[in-house]
Amino acid sequence: MEAVAWVELLGHRGQVLHRHPAFAWPIRIGNTYDGDIVVDDPAFPETKIFLETSSGNEAEMFLELASTSTNGNGGDVPRLRINHKPVEAVAARSIRLFSDDVIECGAARMRVRLRGHVVSRHRLNGKERFVDSWAFAWLIAVTAAIWYGFFSSINSLNEDVSEQLKDPFSLVAALLIWWGGWSLITRLVTGYGHSREHLLITGILFVLYPNAGNVGSALAFATGATTFALGGQLVQLAGVFYAMFAHLRLVKRVGVTMSVLRAGLLPCITWLWLMNGINIVFPEDKKPMSYDASMWPASIVIKSNETAQDVLASLESVKERVDAAAKTIENRVNAGQSSNEPNK
């Protein structure tokens, strides 16, 4: 049976002293032995904390205080703090919580982590924020470097990159893969029970992304089966979509516009430029990644019953691209010649 949440009892420095799984809602926390979680702390007030999920939404908890006071005046209301902020603890009042919120009741401090959720940035501790900020700064720096390299007139391969960008499939795939990658980083920074699973899947994804096409192509050569070439691409796509939906869940939980922007779009663009930038910087024979937009459509739409006529028909589009490139060179040469006309 899997736990629906973990209740972590924290020490004064925030370290986890005990970690208890809870297998069903509501979770009752108290210093009596009829609760799900027993806080053996004499300073814990005689009250009970009920943690319940909102209907259909696993991401929230409601804290209900049940006072055991019998003196009729509201009882001895415990000192209650949520994320270090005092909260008026009124009996039977619902307080909305999120996963990883720190609950201080009396002298006890605890944290409840829901299975399958992560923490938004404003709930990170200092160290976690530092890592998150550093990663963000690195992304900004890489983006700036790639943009500079792209627009530099020194590198005549820029026109090749601009051609690659015109391939919408590759562009979208690159955006999605990085979005998923950032999801992994965020999860690793905050940490929660299933990070290993996501680490494995997204790690495989990052390794396979530049290589799945090559793997599929090699297998296609080996077996003659077109499905291998297609399969290589499907592995990439499957991983991309997994990462995308995983990150969508993260974004949904975070609910902060800036995080969506930071965690989504900017890294996607950075990844795209990083891939192309690497191919620009490295010499032709030492490029770490093989990236050929013209080969993607063929490997996606492979049909083993294509004939010689299909091959010949495909040459028309190749010719068009060559002619367009020749026109570009001609215009450039003519522009250069007009400015270099010798004095007569």
Pick 142 or 219: Cβ nearer other proteins: 219
Q: Spell out, one character per residue from 159 to 178, where the chain touches other proteins: x when CB under 8 A holds, - when not.
A: -x------------------
Q: How big, in percent rounded to 5, are the helix, strand and coil portions of the chain? A: 55, 15, 30
Residues 6+ apart with CB under 8 A from 159: 328
Q: How many residues does the chain have?
A: 344
Whether cis (ω within 30° of 0) applies to the bond prior to 26 is yes
Selected from 4, 107, 218, 265, the binder of other proteins by CB under 8 A is 218
Which span sits near other proteins by CB under 8 A: 146-154, 167-175, 214-222, 267-275?
214-222
Q: Spell out, one character per residue from 100 to 139, where the chain touches other proteins: x when CB under 8 A holds, - when not.
A: ----------------------------------------
b/e map of 48-69 (b: 16 or more CB within 10 Å)?
bbbbebeeeebbbbebbbebee
Pick 237 or 289: Cβ nearer other proteins: 289
* CB-CB contact of 10 with 125 (8 Å): no
What values do phi and psi take at 167, rounded to 5? -90, 105
Pick 192 or 271: Cβ nearer other proteins: 271
Pick 211 or 259: Cβ nearer other proteins: 211
Pick 128 or 167: Cβ nearer other proteins: 167
Selected from 137, 200, 333, 335, the binder of other proteins by CB under 8 A is 333
Question: What is the DSSP secondary structure assignment for residue 83, as one 8-state letter?
Answer: T
User: Between residue 272 and residue 331, which ones bind other proteins under the rule CB under 8 A?
Assistant: 284-290, 292, 294-295, 298-299, 302-308, 310-312, 314-315, 317-319, 321-323, 325-327, 329-330
Pick 215 or 260: Cβ nearer other proteins: 215
* CB-CB contact of 116 with 5 (8 Å): no
Question: What is the DSSP secondary structure assignment for residue 13, as one 8-state letter?
Answer: T
- For the chain, strand residue ranges (E) read 5-10, 16-22, 27-30, 37-38, 47-54, 57-67, 80-82, 85-87, 94-98, 102-105, 108-114
Pick 19 or 287: Cβ nearer other proteins: 287
Q: Spell out, one character per residue from 52 to 91, where the chain touches other proteins: x when CB under 8 A holds, - when not.
A: ----------------------------------------
Q: How far is the CB of 138 from other proteins (least distance, A)?
A: 22
Tokens of residue 232, six digits: 């290589």
What is the C-alpha to C-alpha distance for residues 120 and 122, in angstroms, rounded to an integer? 6
Q: How far is the CB of 177 from other proteins (least distance, A)?
A: 15
Q: Is 221 in the site for other proteins (CB under 8 A)?
A: yes
Selected from 201, 219, 265, 281, the binder of other proteins by CB under 8 A is 219
* CB-CB contact of 41 with 108 (8 Å): yes
User: Between residue 229 and residue 248, which ones bind other proteins under the rule CB under 8 A?
Assistant: 229
Pick 252 or 327: Cβ nearer other proteins: 327
Distance of CA 126 to the CA centre of its chain: 21
Give CA separation, 44 vs 39, 63, 68, 229, 289, in Å: 7, 16, 12, 63, 59
Tokens of residue 93, six digits: 């009042």
* CB-CB contact of 17 with 108 (8 Å): no
The owner of tokens 């501790």 is: 125
Pick 199 or 333: Cβ nearer other proteins: 333
Q: Which residues bind other proteins (CB under 8 A)?
A: 156, 160, 210-211, 214-215, 217-224, 226, 229, 284-290, 292, 294-295, 298-299, 302-308, 310-312, 314-315, 317-319, 321-323, 325-327, 329-330, 333, 337, 341-342
